[in-house]
Every structure is written in C-alpha cells, then in structure tokens.
Chains A and B, each alone.
Chain A
Amino acid sequence: AQSVTQLGSHVSVSEGALVLLRCNYSSSVPPYLFWYVQYPNQGLQLLLKYTTGATLVKGINGFEAEFKKSETSFHLTKPSAHMSDAAEYFCAVSDSGNTPLVFGKGTRLSVIA
C-alpha cells in the first residue's frame, strides 16, 4: 500500500524567504509523485509531477521538487515566497497515471509580509 507523510501541517515563512514543504512517501513500486495547491473553496491545481526521468522537476509559479529515491522524499521548494503562495499544499502518490491518488494530510503555507 502507498502512503504519504507531509511533515508540518502549517508552515509560515516571510515574504521573499525560502519555501520548503516536506513530503515522504512509501510505495512498493516506482512511484508517480505529485504536488497540488488548493486555494480556499477551490479544487486542486497541479504544481508539478514526477513520473520518470529527471529527478529535479520544475513546476509552475517558480516551484520545484526533487525526487530522492534513497530518502523516499519529494520535497517542494521555492526560492522566494510571495504573498500569493499562501494556500494549502498536498503531496500525492500513485503507482501509475490511471490509479487513484493517495494524498498526504496537507501543509498550510502562510506568507508573512
């Protein structure tokens, strides 16, 4: 069975500071890994994904994540936080593109001016 652990239910950073949201997964097969962002009362928007190939994945809005198999991690980073980045972020795993996603509990990012 697959699972996702997001360390820290709430992360607060200053505007312009580095954003680091942690995600660890467990999977018995090579995983597909995703990061989604959710704004209040809205659906999910895909930030980035890892399926195969390059382990450093760049996404939208300046976010990137690195797949580290040895650490079973897929942490999300952004060099400089913007006020508009304040939202809920979900890490998810699946074993293919056509199977349901297993989500982490989410991390709420607050950005302080």
Chain B
Amino acid sequence: GAVVSQHPSWVICKSGTSVKIECRSLDFQATTMFWYRQFPKQSLMLMATSNEGSKATYEQGVEKDKFLINHASLTLSTLTVTSAHPEDSSFYICSARDPGGPNEQFFGPGTRLTVL
C-alpha cells in the first residue's frame, strides 16, 4: 500500500518556541492531506484539511494562527505549532489518500510533541 511518513517522530521543545512537523506521501501524489490530533487515551480529532496550493480548511475551534499548515507540493504538507505551550503537547497524525489507489486513507506514524 501507499506510504506516508512523518518527521520527526517525536520532539521536545520549550514553551514559546515553534515546531514544524512534516508529512510526506512517499510513493504517490496527494492533493489533500488531513491533520489529526490525539490526546492520551483518546480518539483522533480532525484539525484541518490541507489542500495543495491553497489555504487549509480548519475545523471549528482550531486556531489557524497557532497551527499553521502549508501544503507546498503534492507530496509534502507541514504543520507548524507556533508559540507552543504545554497544552499543545499531543500526538499529531497526518493522513493522505492516493487518488490512483483504493478508497482509503493512509496514515503517517505520528509525531509525539512534548512542550516543557
């Protein structure tokens, strides 16, 4: 199946700093990618839909100025957590669908963010 990677797999940062997380589709082009957030022992919540070449669509309650999404190419979407605070600590997961493949989304392995 199609492969989606994320980098880094884990990151620890100080409060007030910004962190960039990359999501790449390795063997297909993805016009749309999705970013989810998962708190410990909870389900995945959609944060935003990332569209190649256009602005991301954010879910209600998600601060677009805090969670900057850039989908600069058909294989890369980035999520930047700006001025991170401890409450932003979470597991961030991206997904993408291969337009030429089966009707399913492929998930990245996730990025564990810890803000001190």
Q: Say whether B104 contacts A49, CB under 8 Å.
A: yes
Is the contact region of chain B dominated by helix, strand, or loop, or is it mixed?
A: strand
Per the 8 Å Cβ criterion, residues 69-116 of B in contact with A are: 91, 93, 95, 97, 99, 102-105, 107-110, 112
Q: Say whether B109 contacts A42, CB under 8 Å.
A: yes
Q: What is the size, in residues, of chain A's interface with B at 8 Å between Cβ atoms?
A: 23
Interface locus among A14-22, A62-70, A71-79, A99-107: A99-107
Q: Does B68 belong to the interface (CB within 8 Å)?
A: no
B interface footprint on A89-103 (CB within 8 Å = 1, 0 otherwise) = 010000011101111
Q: Say whether A100 contacts B107, CB under 8 Å.
A: no
With contact pairs A46-B104, A97-B104 given, residues A103 and B43 touching in the complex (Cβ less than 8 Å) = yes
Q: Does B25 belong to the interface (CB within 8 Å)?
A: no
Q: Report the minimal beta-carbon distance from B98 to chain A, rounded to whole angstroms.
A: 9
Q: Does B12 belong to the interface (CB within 8 Å)?
A: no
Chain A positions near chain B (C-beta within 8 angstroms): 32, 34, 36, 41-46, 49, 51, 90, 96-98, 100-106, 108
